Amino acid sequence: MNEDAEVPVGRLVRVFIKMRDYRDKQRKEYEAKEAALEEQMGVIRAELLKACETFGANSFRTDYGQVIRQVKTRYWATDWSAMHDFVKENNALDLLERRIHQTNMKQYLEANPGKLPPGLNADSHYEVTVRRT
């Protein structure tokens, strides 16, 4: 590489790695603090749920804010093959999220050149990866 550039490439790599290390350290510190806060907030949420049960209410107000109790439901499949069959049989594509699996699409297009799905968009650009030596 050309080390005679305005800013030597080696220096750019060194600074980049230092910045990445600092960012990673900051992220770990933040995640540790966040986990502790989430744990404490979980204890408070449990107490507020008990208060809703005690009051026999799904919501109540205080001078500091409102508490609302609601049912949250999460769905997932344990048998994806059966789920895919169900979706096909019932023409229920809207049961799935609208997101393309990036790796699978890349493999499909490589295996089927010229067979583009209608409405497919793609964006390609160069990226730089920096590894420590």
- DSSP class per residue in the chain: --TTSSS-HHHHHHHHHHHHHHHHHHHHHHHHHHHHHHHHHHHHHHHHHHHHHHHT-SEEE-SS-EEE---------S-HHHHHHHHHHTT-GGGS-S---HHHHHHHHHHSTT-PPTT--------------
Express each pLDDT in 1-40 by its tens digit. Answer: 555 558 899 999 999 999 999 999 999 999 999 999 999 9
Residues β-bridged to residue 59? 68
What's the whole-model pTM score?
0.67
pLDDT in tens, 56-100: 999 999 999 999 999 999 999 999 999 999 999 999 999 999 899
